[in-house]
Structure 1
Amino acid sequence: MSRWEPDARERFVAAALELFTDQGYDDTTVAQIAERAGLTKSTFFRHFSDKREVLAAGQETLSRLFAEGISSAPADASPLAAVAAGLANAASAMTPFNRELAPRLEAVIATSSELQERAALKQVGMALAMADALRSRGVTDQVASTAAELGVLAFKGAFAEWIADGPDGTADLAALLRDALDRLRSAVAQLG
């Protein structure tokens, strides 16, 4: 039985990570990524504006999933309960592909200040998406921003635990996200 072939975007991401790992981010070209993926350079540019964007391929989707989950939370949900719904919605979309590539992605990002800046901007974008979704529910700016930042912290910590469990691990991302958010809620309560 043949191995499942990912779609074009996933093929580009996998190829880019292989090349970035083997020869470095700066020494990898879009043409090389396309060749490794078995696709054309023009197809690459239909999906990504440049090679840096390959590493942020899921950001828009992730931000959309957070916002959709927050928007679909019960009307009487607290801001953090709505964030929990957003985190759960995002967790439901995570696949073994995400889990398999994440450690390599982090290793590549660690090698480049440009990529580290892009990763930080990704977190800002996720927080903005969550905060906007909370504001749409009538949550005040300060509370929405705070809840969103806690959501990003919870996601970052839980995702790290999930990938540390390995590609064949049994850790449940949704449960890890709930636990991470509960720990942050407790920590905030201790601030006084």
Structure 2
Amino acid sequence: MGRWEPNARGRLEQAALELYAERGYEQTTVAEIAKRAGLTERTYFRHFADKREVLFAGAAALRELLVTTVADAPADATPIDAVAAALDAVAGMIGGRREGARQRQSVIVANAELRERELIKLAALSAGLAEALRGRGVGEPAASLAAEAGIAVFKVSFEQWIGEARDRELPEIIRQLLDELKAVTAGR
């Protein structure tokens, strides 16, 4: 190994994305990821439990941002408006990383195990949102419905953002889809 360089975690994430795109998820080993990043396997396992988790490393931070934003929303905010604020915060966090998000998603879509892990992540985000809404005094089933609807809006917005909506930014897409959801639930 050469001289120590900063950002081992980021280098491992980038190396994994590159290798998964080049060779496929199943054909890539942790040893190859570590080597591409200029690190050891031991360093890899200090940061990630397995080769799958390198793609989901930001899930805890994402959940924390959603929960904190809902908790900090104005007291008079409706449940869906608190969720909208949280989605806007998330869009700000990931909005500048479209190409990386596109690469990550293409790896996930190509592998059933990773698609399952992505669904687990989305379910955990929804559960976190519902918990935060209940903490604001929102009862059931309203808390769970608002949380699930918010995650559905996020999922569809994200897919549009990395797909055909190349000329639009994620916050804009989220706001449009939230407006459409509100119109649908209002019966318009």
Q: Who is 2:177 aligned against?
A: 180
CA shift in 2, pair 1:153/1:54, >3 Å: same
Q: Who is 2:39 aligned against?
A: 39
Q: How many residues align structurally?
A: 184
Q: Who is 1:189 aligned against?
A: 186
Q: CA deviation at 1:32?
A: 0.8
TM-score (norm 2): 0.89
- Work out whether residues 87 and 155 of structure 1, in 8 Å CA contact, stay in contact via their aligned partners in 2: yes
The 2-side partners of 1:117 and 1:87 are apart by 22
Q: CA deviation at 1:183?
A: 1.0
CA deviation string 1:116-140 (max 9, x = no partner): 1101111101101111111110111
Report % sequence identity.
46
Q: Who is 1:140 aligned against?
A: 139
- Work out whether residues 95 and 169 of structure 2, in 8 Å CA contact, stay in contact via their aligned partners in 1: no
Q: Who is 1:94 aligned against?
A: 94
The AA in structure 2 aligned to 1:69 is T
CA deviation string 1:21-59 (max 9, x = no partner): 221211211111111112222221121110111111221
Q: Which stretches of structure 1, 4 residues or longer, exceed 4 Å deviation after superposition?
A: none
Q: Who is 1:150 aligned against?
A: 149
The AA in structure 2 aligned to 1:184 is L
CA deviation string 1:96-154 (max 9, x = no partner): 3x311122222211221111110111110110111111111011131111101111111
- Work out whether residues 150 and 181 of structure 1, in 8 Å CA contact, stay in contact via their aligned partners in 2: no
Q: RMSD of the alignment, in Å?
A: 2.0
TM-score (norm 1): 0.87
Unpaired runs of at least 5, structure 2: none
The AA in structure 2 aligned to 1:163 is I
The AA in structure 1 aligned to 2:68 is E
- Work out whether residues 165 and 171 of structure 1, in 8 Å CA contact, stay in contact via their aligned partners in 2: no
